[in-house]
Structure 1
Amino acid sequence: MFDLYENNRKEGVGNYITEDFVLLGNSLLLSQTLANIEEKVLLPKYKEFIQGTLEALEKKQGNKEITAQNIRYVRLVKALLDMTPVAEITDQLLQQDLSSIIQADGVKESVLMGYQMDFSRFKPRGRYTRSEEMSSWFRAMTWSGMAFFPLKSSKATAISNELADRLTSQALELAQIIRGNQALATRYREIDSLLFLLFGSVEDMTWQDYLTAAGKGGQTDIRSLRGRMFTFAGKNKKIARIHDGIVATDQLEKGQTAGEVLSGMRLFPMRSSKDSAAFQKLVYPSVTRYTGNTQEPLPFTAITLGTDVVKGFPRGLELMWLLGSQTAGEQIERGQDSKYKKYSQMWKEARNELAGPANVVINTKLMRDWLLNGTKADADRRLNSMLGYWTWGRYTSLLFTKQSVTGVSKSFQLPSERTAAWLEPATSLYLNILKDIRKLLAAVQQISPESTDPLQRYADLLAQLISIAKAEQAGLQLKEEQINVLNNLDATFYSIIGAKDQPIVVDVHTEVNSQKVLEEGLGYAKRIETSKYSQKLRGALFTHFEFKQPMDARMTDELWRERLVQQAAPAVSPEGKK
């Protein structure tokens, strides 16, 4: 979009500032702010925490077998952070998992954890490909969030009672190490508090939960403790709703759920996102058999599981439908993506997942307000805007939020003077964005005061845009200084953010049976024109793509841009068929 507005300046064409460009500025600012906080605050604190935990474990007296396993677990994280070559690792077990992480090997058993993991998730993507240090941070934090210490044994995860006992003993030892070391506990709280401010709460058990649950009652043997901690998890809503692990759902024991067998402590749990929780409700095994004609082309969301056709994928359009877009609902129904057993029931449950407070990165309240308060004439445009906003939100929060998983089975020239410009008067949208920025500003002020200047400048600029939008809605002629603000908005954005937009892509759901992921991409901007004050003005809108990609070839921004340049971008029609 920046390139289009820069061309306007060169060609003397007045700016038509679209709501998408304002949303883009907001998204870029959030992404850059988080990148700065990661590099300057989170990563140094995380390194201190890992180093301190390793030192405490190496000094510990007690169960040597459990401590040795924990030392391997933490040394793996340190090796990732230090970018230690695999060949330099002498511990063969640690070396195997480190190699699997670096190679992003797909679904295989972790020799350290003893169960199947999707190692393709460790492939650095998004902004984490910009440097080796950020790639190593991505892998280390992903391990801290994905590797879990299960409370339940199950055939569905191939976790035996003995393995669950051992991993729970490890988790309790780690919890006791953190509690017993004030510096470690402080570092952990600092990291967790920051992630809570940015991305919200976690649904998984934490080390604090393990200690609280283990401290109640008289049982001391590990199997009894597991039972008590699982009861605690159920009572305190710590049973996983988002199933970001490998579960063979047809192997679940009677009465067991995928969430139950994936419940347990994670060192730094990924945050629970409303959209992922909704998506989990809309795929197998929650939504099951396809009820349409299997002799005709199958819908985009379908997979073949044995002899059945079931719903393996959610769609971004479904999220928009849940948030109130009837246009999205019509497209889903037209594409047969709602023709599954239990779909209507689970759609209602998925909608309930979107209730409650929103976070500043993906503000579902903002999305709902924008989608619900339009007219039939602008419904398509509002839908497109929110797909773009949501894709940027998932891109920004890639490392920190849980992902739903389907159950297994040019040259310079003087420009002409520009005397006109127009801002799409989406006042309510801009007001909601300003609320988010002010909320983020207050949070960042507490933890990284040096990062607040861009946020404050952007908040001031948004206030100007809101004033301009209100003037337009009142039918007032824009003043010269207001026109100048709009015609220079791209340059002002760049001075604040320090970056321009490029096509991005992010995977939002993993479907293990077909070995594919659901990708959401934004391509090069769509040009749009309008006439105001007897002049032709030009602006930009998002272009959104949704497609499937092999798990072991999760798309990076660089590959996505190459594909767009080669004009080989996978497109999905409104009907949802490839």
Structure 2
Amino acid sequence: MKYLVITLISILTLACSPEKKESKSTDSIPKEPVAKQEPETSPEPEKVEEAPKLTVVVSNSKEELKRYYDLPHINEFYEYQMEMQYSEPDELQVPEDLSQLSYGDLRLLRNEVFARNGYLFSDGFLRGYFNRFKWYMPIFDVDTFRVVMSREEQDLVNAILTEEAKRKEETLVGANETDLYHADLVTNARQFKFVHRDILTDLAENNFSIVNAKRQMPFYVYDQNAYQYIPHYITIDLYLYILHKYFSCFLEKLDQNYMSKKLINLLTEVLKEVDVMKQSGGNQESLGWVEMYCKTALYAAYGTPMEVSLEYANIYQAEINSISAESGAPSFISNSTVNYSELKPRGHYTKTDELKKYFRTFKWISLNGVDLSDDKQLEGMISLAYIIKSRPQVYKIYKNYVSTMEKLAGQEDNVSIRDVIQAIEKIEDYNQAIASASLSSVRSQLSSLNKERIAKVFGKDFYMPESEIKRVYFLSSTYSISGEIFSKLIHVNGNKSKRPFPRGLDVPAVFGNETAEKIVVDEYKDAELWADYQPRLRQLQNQFDVFEGWEGNYGANALNTALAATTEKATYPTFMKTDAYNRKELSTMLSSWTHVKHDLILYQEKPYAAEAGQGGGPEPPKHYSYVEPNLAFWHQAIKFTKWLKSFSGLDGTHSDELQRILDVGLDLQTAAKIQIEGKDLPEELNVKLSRIGARIEYILLGLLETDHLPEREKSMALIADVYSYNGTNLNVAVGHADDIYVVVPIKGEYHMARGSVFSYYEFTDPTIYNDEEWKKMVGEENIKKRPKWMVPLINNIPSPKGQMEFRYPGHWMQGYYY
């Protein structure tokens, strides 16, 4: 008797409980059904200590099972909701040789014995799988329920357990010099209607597989998972997505409600002071230049021509025509490297007319720096500086505007009006400020400044006058780390150019990512094409090895968070240390960086090179999740999110949504830590994670201030031009979300979990694209291929669909939003 009781305890612990840990773990599953055998003649089971949830008896009679279906609440549920009545299922089909079955099918066969005897599975996969059969009518809300198992059924379960134990003697297998989870031990492949052999091959070789699922939003797959109880693989990508959406919405509000108004106010106040000074006898020529400058900028803002002096009438007309057309070269401040196609609004600046006009205004100002050697232009810039610094109210507007811009995007990267103000700081008389002696002094001081870290690059064999011109800007574009990297890792020289375009991979390579450098050097062969590539790369690596400015502005902080996606620690699962997964992480990192460049496209300098609810019935089963366990990323992401909270004082419209984002991040960080320790997630946390798709969608709707997705927000696709060479732009973009399938350990077994990852694109094109144009291209699948280093990892096949069934409509929506 003692032997039989122990045997059946093993049966129920393995058959009815959630997943076990890797085979080397000896942990038992607490508080799960315990089996006890009784003789066929015993009417009542013996009492077992600790009040087990389930008792199993061995008997060839099924009369006890039939009696359960006569209970009122059981009879009502199946008769009125499902029109089902109990009937014995067909004979169980068992192969003569159990070794012919896969591990997953073995587990299903073992659990079918319990399913046929009315057992209600708490495991979402097992419940959903057996719900597909009409004979599966589990008993619920019966405290005295016990499984009655025949002797043949007991023998079959024991035989299956023996075969399963053989399979689990080896839970890790060597692949690509790395011990990976044994994909043959995945238990839930039958959760899907069909799993393509390419996915199965990927799971065996890399423990993960990416499918070009073309999902318009990254949280959609998690909604499907929750409905079908497919385990979540909650990715870094999903959290980065909602972080970037928060900042994009925050910046949109800030630009519309503050930045655009401050800039217009600044230009208008300067114009008022010009009129006052002209009437009081100030230098008419220099003040006329300032007037022309401000009225041109205000045309970009309003689209309405203003009256200018006769001297500038023709130039003004030509200038505003080019601004309206968003094409052509400047007429007012000549510059052979400026093309007004750059005035085309993009990023979130296409959402409203006000944002479009603000984009054109700031972009026009940041493009048109004056030639320091031109007396007239320099006099005009000194006049502008004098007006700002000598009028406290105007100076306050200017300083607040620039301070906010630099908190967003970084410090100004060119000589600007700020430097001119410092050069004339002690001059109290306007005429003295523009006198020849002052002009010479200011020119000398500004010439000695070396602020430009993102320098324009010109081919050495192609002379361009612009290469010798130093320019001074009213408002300068700001410095970015990637901009400096790009400007220093290119070689241009006409048809002798060895590396006219940088690569997105240059950024992680500078920060020591070995996979990124390996791809650039070994696969693109850039070091062979340009011998200076690696020496320059080493110089930049040394430079940024001691970089401490990460928290100075959003742009740097967000890049640091993106880079954290590529970190690797000894404690991480082995599949995260493979070359294939490292490439997936690079795609995630570059997609996140693309979001940053997209959001800050107006402010950051673009590098340039040139030459020339539930009803009655059983309670819902449990749904499981596995969080991408990159602890370094989650630490940095939480730190970054808290930094954003301190930054949100500039505009607190979405402070509630940011707090929810932080709450989600803390849940994900907690789960990742628990997983790394080899422990099971607590039930309360599992419930929160099961709702991750809806939580992210709820936050997004809050950010958009709507209860449904507007048409332009139904696609996550976005694009940014990050570098220009001879009229051709390097574009980086994010398309629709891919699905990722990953072999993960949950509750002692391996599962195929599903999640969402970014799709990253990088290509050159003469056209500057905005989001609407790119979204259309993505929707029509009229887009370039992925970077060649990612192409082998992308499966262009249909993503597997779930095939589970559940008998309580709306069960998964209970408490789903919070």
Same fold (TM over 0.5): yes
1:437 partner amino acid: T
Q: 1:539 to 1:371 in 2, by over 3 A?
A: closer
How many angstroms apart in 1 are the aligned matches of 2:221 and 2:305? 43
Larger deviation, residues 3-12 vs 45-54: 3-12
Residue in 2 that maps onto 1:199: 409
Change (3 A) 1:549 1:86: farther
Amino acid at match of 1:554: I
Asked whether the 8 Å contact 2:433–2:439 carries over to 1, the reply is no
Question: What secondary structure does 2:784 align onto?
Answer: coil
Pairing partner for 1:77 from 279, 294, 297: 297
Which structure 1 segments of 5+ residues have no match? 153-163, 289-304, 410-414
1:357 aligned to 2:569?
no
Match of 2:641 in 1: 437
- Per-residue deviation at 1:383? 1.2
1:479 is aligned to 682
- 1:209: Cα distance to partner? 1.4
Q: What is residue 344 of structure 2 aligned with on the other side?
A: 123
Query: Aligned match of 1:96 in 308, 318, 321?
Result: 318
- Cα RMSD (Å): 3.2
Cα deviation, residue 85, structure 1: 7.2
2:237 equivalent in structure 1: 20
Counterpart Cα distance in 2 of 1:71 and 1:422: 62
The residue identity in structure 1 corresponding to 2:627 is: L
Task: Tell me how far 1:101 sits from its aligned partner.
Answer: 2.1
SS at match of 1:443: helix
Q: For 1:102-181, what aligned pairs fall within 5 Å after superposition? A: 102-106=324-328, 108=329, 110-116=330-336, 117-152=338-373, 164-181=374-391
Q: 1:542 aligns with which of 739, 758, 762?
A: 758
Q: Residue in 1 aligned with 2:81? A: none
Cα distance in 2, alignment partners of residues 440 and 231 from structure 1: 41
User: Which residue does the alignment assign to 1:208?
Assistant: 418
Deviation (angstroms), 1:508: 0.2
Q: Structure 1 residues 360 and 115 mapped into 2: Cα distance closer, same or farther (>3 Å)?
A: closer
Rounded to whole Å, the distance in 2 between the matches of 1:245 and 1:135 is: 30
1:67 paired to 2:282:
no
Secondary structure at the counterpart of residue 476 of structure 2: coil
Q: Distance in 1 between matches of 2:532 and 2:442?
A: 32
Alpha-carbon offset, residue 449 of structure 1: 3.7
Note if contact 2:300-2:364 (Cα within 8 Å) is conserved in structure 1: no
Where does the alignment leave 5 or more consecutive residues of structure 2 unmatched? 1-217, 570-576, 613-618, 705-712, 792-818
Counterpart-to-counterpart distance in 1, 2:364 and 2:442? 23
Q: How does 1:94-493 map to 2 (within 5 A)?
A: 94-106=316-328, 108=329, 110-116=330-336, 117-152=338-373, 164-214=374-424, 225=438, 228-229=441-442, 231-233=444-446, 236-238=449-451, 240-243=452-455, 250-251=462-463, 258=467, 261-264=469-472, 266-285=473-492, 305=494, 307-333=495-521, 334-338=523-527, 339-351=529-541, 354=544, 355-358=547-550, 359-363=553-557, 364-373=559-568, 375-377=577-579, 378-409=581-612, 419-445=623-649, 447-493=650-696
Instruction: State the distance in 1 between where 2:381 and 2:317 align.
Output: 22
| Larger deviation, residues 382-391 vs 97-106 | 97-106
Q: Which whole-Å CA distance do the structure 2 matches of 1:432 and 1:74 have between them?
A: 43
Q: Could you tell me which amino acid in structure 2 is paired with residue 510 of structure 1?
A: S
Shift of 1:368: 4.5
Deviates more, 1:436-445 or 1:541-550: 436-445
> Do 1:423 and 1:469's aligned partners in 2 also have CA atoms closer than 8 Å?
yes
Are the equivalent residues in 2 in contact too, given 1:362–1:390 (CA < 8 A)? Answer: no
Residue 50 (1) aligns with residue 271 (2): no
Q: How many residues align?
A: 529
Cα distance in 2 for partners of 1:244, 1:86 equals 34
Question: Who is 1:291 aligned against?
Answer: none
Could you say what secondary structure the match of 1:311 adopts?
coil
For the structure 1 residues 511 and 267, does the alpha-carbon distance in structure 2 shift closer, same or farther, using more than 3 Å as the test?
Answer: same
SS at match of 2:497: strand
Greater alpha carbon shift after TM alignment, 371-380 vs 459-468: 371-380
**Cα deviations by residue, 1:320-352 (Å, 9 ceiling, x for unpaired):** 211222222122122122321432333234435
Code of the aligned partner of 2:376? R
1:404-423 deviation line (CA, Å, top 9, x unaligned):
001323xxxxx985521121
The change in CA–CA distance for 1:386 and 1:132 in structure 2 (over 3 A counts) is: same
Cα distance, 1:564–1:497 mapped onto 2, change above 3 Å:
closer
- Residue 252 of structure 1, CA deviation: 6.0
Separation in 2, partners of 1:248, 1:60: 46
1:281-305 C-alpha deviation (Å, 9 max, x unpaired) = 11235xx6xxxxxxxxxxxxxxxx1
User: Counterpart of 1:198 in structure 2: which amino acid?
Assistant: L
Greater Cα radius of gyration, structure 1 or 2: 2
2:700 counterpart residue number: 497
The whole-number CA distance in structure 2 between the counterparts of 1:180 and 1:249 is 46
Counterparts in 2 of 1:85 and 1:65: CA distance versus 1, 3 Å: closer
d(CA) in 2 for partners of 1:249, 1:86: 44
CA contact (8 A) 1:517 1:548 kept: yes
Structure 2 SS opposite 1:464: helix
Which one is further off, 379-388 or 341-350? 341-350
Contact 1:145 1:267 in 2 (8 A): yes
> Is the partner of 1:345 in helix, strand or coil?
helix
Rounded Cα–Cα distance in structure 2 between residues aligned with 1:323 and 1:168: 40
Aligned partner letter, 1:540:
S
Q: Secondary structure at the match of 2:386?
A: helix
Contact 2:229 2:624 in 1 (8 A): no
2:481 maps to amino acid: K
Distance 2:426 2:445 in 1: 10
What is the rounded CA distance, in whole Å, between the counterparts of 1:249 and 1:508 in structure 2?
25
TM-score (norm 1): 0.83
1:87 is displaced (CA, Å) by 13
Conservation of the 8 A alpha-carbon contact between 2:417 and 2:475: no
Higher alpha-carbon deviation: 378-387 or 565-574: 565-574
Residue 168 of structure 1 and its aligned partner are, at CA, apart by 0.8
Displacement of 1:206: 2.7
Q: CA deviation at 1:273?
A: 0.5
Query: Bigger shift: 310-319 or 85-94?
Result: 85-94
CA distance 1:131–1:312, change in 2 (3 Å): same
- 1:520 aligned to which of 727, 732, 756: 732
Shift of 1:484: 2.3
CA-to-partner distance for each residue in 1:180-230, whole Å, 9 max, x for gaps?
A: 22221111111111112222211222323113224589x977676565445
Decide whether the 8 Å contact of 2:464 with 2:611 is kept in 1: no
Deviation at 1:245, TM superposition (A): 9.4
Q: CA 1:570 to 1:225, structure 2 compared with 1: closer, same or farther past 3 Å?
A: farther
Q: Report the Cα distance in structure 1 between the residues aligned to 2:765 and 2:454, rounded to whole angstroms.
A: 21
| Residue in structure 2 matched with residue 40 of structure 1 by the alignment | 257
Q: Secondary structure at the match of 1:73?
A: helix
Alpha-carbon distance change, 449 to 120 in structure 1, aligned in 2, over 3 angstroms: same
1:511 aligns with 2:725: yes
Equivalent residue number for residue 293 of structure 1: none
Contact conserved, 1:549 with 1:555, CA < 8 A, in 2? no
1-structure distance, mates of 2:525, 2:768: 26
State the alpha-carbon separation in 2 of the partners of residues 53 and 417 from structure 1: 67
Code of the residue aligned with 1:178 in structure 2: it is: I
CA–CA separation in structure 1 for the residues paired with 2:447 and 2:461? 20
Instruction: State the alpha-carbon separation in 1 of the partners of residues 518 and 665 from structure 2.
Output: 34
Deviation at 1:562, TM superposition (A): 2.0
